């Protein structure tokens, strides 16, 4: 086993939205930063809209106005700890980084003023604060008619179901399918199709076939409109079809999520940060209240990191940041940090109704307003690893990861030893 020792001002564990945001902000502030991650996070699965607050418990229209009451009723919610100002600042920062580090013109629209209401793959209205411009014309409060176009090679995007559900919301909607050839293969995933849509020749013949089939004012396509130049692909289709075109998030993998990951990774690199994938942090050494070393395992070798600060952004149950063992004990996987809202003895762990209020939904690491777990001086936690939120019910998963990643970096950049190092 080879081993190496590396020193950084900060090591960020995890390469989801929370980790990449924290690391990029830190690097921009002058810190030497390394992100260590087992693999990609939820970016490659989720729709890539930044949902800040969708439900409280009714659907939220004006996120900025709703947040104040929301956090005052939930003093342990991650948003109560990050503060609402950090949320606004994080959104602005994110928009700027995506615009600066995506291929020509790709950008996000929105903010805290008014949630977008966009259709999910099954035509359910989803409230989101910030959305890729390529999705924005799906706004369901607009009354112009919609045509959803399915591509049979892309399984599990059921346009007729999607259109029927949207029509129930009072918007004229229809679903049609257009067979496209993907080299004779019976099916393709979103990434394979997105690469096809990067090709202007493919787009030209696609638009020529589709145009005579559509009479509605807006066209919804699965979110596969390009990876290398998604803005160019989307704008080209709008021009060729002479209609507003929008992407509808589909099942994983997520092309918009990959674009978001690519933009954040490019921002990190431009700021001088380092990203190490394929490396799992398995152990940490503590001295008093300080983490003095992290041990990471990659194929065939181990690396010891000796950071001044650590940001834990390992995600929740889905990414292994929080794990449940066969004795039903939930634990934070790297440091065994105390959890908030973990399973309680004698109380049920799951509600058998999938979409019900799940007892473990809020489980996660307990931190104070400096995002530090009790007893730790140089460890901060960000993202879905934090306890206190119910992201699926509140519609706030990406918002929490972005805001807490951003906040963690701001707190660190203000700390005396980081300021001295930078």
Ligand X SMILES: Cc1cc2nc3c(=O)[nH]c(=O)nc-3n(C[C@H](O)[C@H](O)[C@H](O)COP(=O)(O)OP(=O)(O)OC[C@H]3O[C@@H](n4cnc5c(N)ncnc54)[C@H](O)[C@@H]3O)c2cc1C
Residues that bind ligand X (CB under 6 A): 13-19, 36-42, 45-47, 51, 252, 280-281, 313-315, 318-321, 333-334, 383-384, 391, 396-398, 401
Distance of alpha carbon 302 from the chain centroid:
29
Q: Which is nearer to ligand X, 342 or 397 (CB)?
A: 397
Is residue 131 within a helix (H) or strand (E), and if so which, with residue range?
strand 130-132
Q: Which is nearer to ligand X, 51 or 236 (CB)?
A: 51
Q: Which is nearer to ligand X, 51 or 56 (CB)?
A: 51
Q: Which is nearer to ligand X, 194 or 403 (CB)?
A: 403
User: Tokens 């701001």 identify what position?
Assistant: 410
Residues 45 and 395: their CA atoms lie apart, in Å, by 16
Q: Which is nearer to ligand X, 237 or 311 (CB)?
A: 311
Q: How far is the CB of 334 from ligand X (least distance, A)?
A: 5
Q: How far is the CB of 195 from ligand X (least distance, A)?
A: 21
Task: Let me know if 380 is exposed, middle or buried by CB neighbors in 10 A (0-12, 13-18, 19+).
Answer: buried
Q: How far is the CB of 58 from ligand X (least distance, A)?
A: 18
Q: How far is the CB of 128 from ligand X (least distance, A)?
A: 7
Residues 319 and 16: their CA atoms lie apart, in Å, by 10
Q: How far is the CB of 15 from ligand X (least distance, A)?
A: 4
DSSP letters along 131-190, please? EEGGGGGG-TTS-S-EEEEE-TTSTT--HHHHHHHHHHTT--EEEEE----STT-S---H
Q: How far is the CB of 213 from ligand X (least distance, A)?
A: 30
Q: Which is nearer to ligand X, 147 or 248 (CB)?
A: 248
In this structure, is the dihedral angle defined by the CA atoms of residues 188, 191, 197 and 198, taken in order, positive or negative? negative
Q: How far is the CB of 23 from ligand X (least distance, A)?
A: 11
Q: Which is nearer to ligand X, 13 or 245 (CB)?
A: 13
- List all residues 6 or more positions away from 287 whose beta carbon is below 8 Å from its beta carbon: none
Q: How far is the CB of 351 from ligand X (least distance, A)?
A: 20
Q: Which is nearer to ligand X, 13 or 207 (CB)?
A: 13
Report the length, in residues, of the chain. 422
Q: Strand, coil or helix: what is 395?
A: coil
Q: Which is nearer to ligand X, 126 or 243 (CB)?
A: 126
Q: Alpha helix (H) ranges present in 169-315?
A: 190-197, 200-210, 230-241, 255-270
Is residue 165 within a helix (H) or strand (E), and if so which, with residue range?
helix 159-168
348-362 burial, b at 16+ Cβ within 10 Å, e below that, comes to eeeeeeeeeebbbbb
- List all residues 6 or more positions away from 326 whose beta carbon is below 8 Å from its beta carbon: none
Q: Which is nearer to ligand X, 310 or 333 (CB)?
A: 333
Q: How far is the CB of 337 from ligand X (least distance, A)?
A: 13
Q: Return the closest-CA partner of residue 13 out of 411, 259, 379.
A: 379
Task: Let me know if 288 is exposed, middle or buried by CB neighbors in 10 A (0-12, 13-18, 19+).
Answer: exposed
Distance of alpha carbon 368 from the chain centroid:
23
Q: Return the closest-CA partner of residue 290 out of 380, 384, 406.
A: 380
Q: How far is the CB of 124 from ligand X (least distance, A)?
A: 11
C-beta of residue 252 within 8 angstroms of C-beta of residue 222: no
């Amino acid at each position: 086993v080879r081993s190496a020792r590396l020193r950084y001002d900060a090591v960020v564990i995890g390469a989801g939205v929370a980790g990449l945001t924290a690391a990029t902000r830190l690097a921009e502030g002058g810190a030497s930063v390394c992100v260590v991650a087992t693999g990609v996070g939820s970016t490659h699965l989720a729709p890539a809209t930044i949902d800040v607050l969708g439900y409280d418990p009714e659907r939220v229209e004006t996120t900025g106005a709703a947040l104040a009451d929301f956090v005052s009723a939930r003093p342990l919610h991650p948003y109560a700890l990050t503060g609402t100002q950090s949320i606004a600042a994080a959104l602005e920062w994110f928009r700027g980084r995506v615009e600066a580090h995506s291929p020509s013109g790709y950008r996000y629209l929105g903010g805290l003023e008014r949630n977008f209401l966009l259709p999910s793959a099954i035509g359910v209205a989803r409230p989101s604060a910030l959305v890729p411009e390529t999705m924005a014309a799906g706004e369901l409060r607009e009354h112009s008619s919609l045509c959803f176009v399915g591509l049979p090679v892309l399984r599990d995007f059921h346009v007729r179901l999607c259109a029927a559900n949207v029509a129930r919301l009072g918007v004229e909607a229809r679903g049609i399918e257009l067979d496209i050839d993907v080299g004779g293969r019976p099916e393709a995933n979103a990434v394979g199709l997105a690469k096809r849509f990067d090709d202007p020749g493919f787009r030209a013949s696609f638009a020529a076939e589709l145009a005579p089939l559509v009479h509605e004012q807006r066209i919804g396509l699965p979110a596969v409109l390009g990876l290398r130049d998604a803005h160019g692909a989307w704008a080209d289709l709008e021009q060729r079809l002479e209609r507003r075109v929008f992407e509808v998030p589909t099942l994983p993998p997520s092309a918009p999520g990959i674009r978001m990951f690519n933009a954040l990774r490019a921002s990190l690199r431009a700021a001088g940060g380092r990203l190490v994938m394929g490396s799992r942090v398995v152990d940490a050494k503590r001295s008093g209240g300080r983490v003095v070393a992290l041990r990471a395992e990659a194929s065939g070798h181990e690396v010891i990191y000796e950071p001044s600060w650590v940001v834990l952004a390992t995600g929740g149950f889905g990414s292994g940041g929080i794990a449940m063992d066969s004795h039903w004990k939930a634990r934070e996987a790297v440091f065994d940090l105390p959890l908030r809202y973990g399973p309680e003895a004698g109380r049920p762990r799951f509600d058998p109704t999938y979409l019900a209020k799940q007892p473990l939904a809020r489980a996660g690491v307990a931190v104070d307003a400096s995002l530090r777990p009790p007893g730790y001086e140089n460890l901060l936690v960000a993202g879905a690893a934090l306890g206190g939120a119910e992201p699926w019910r509140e519609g706030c998963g990406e918002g929490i990861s972005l805001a807490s990643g951003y906040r963690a970096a701001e707190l660190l950049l203000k700390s005396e030893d980081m300021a001295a190092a930078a």
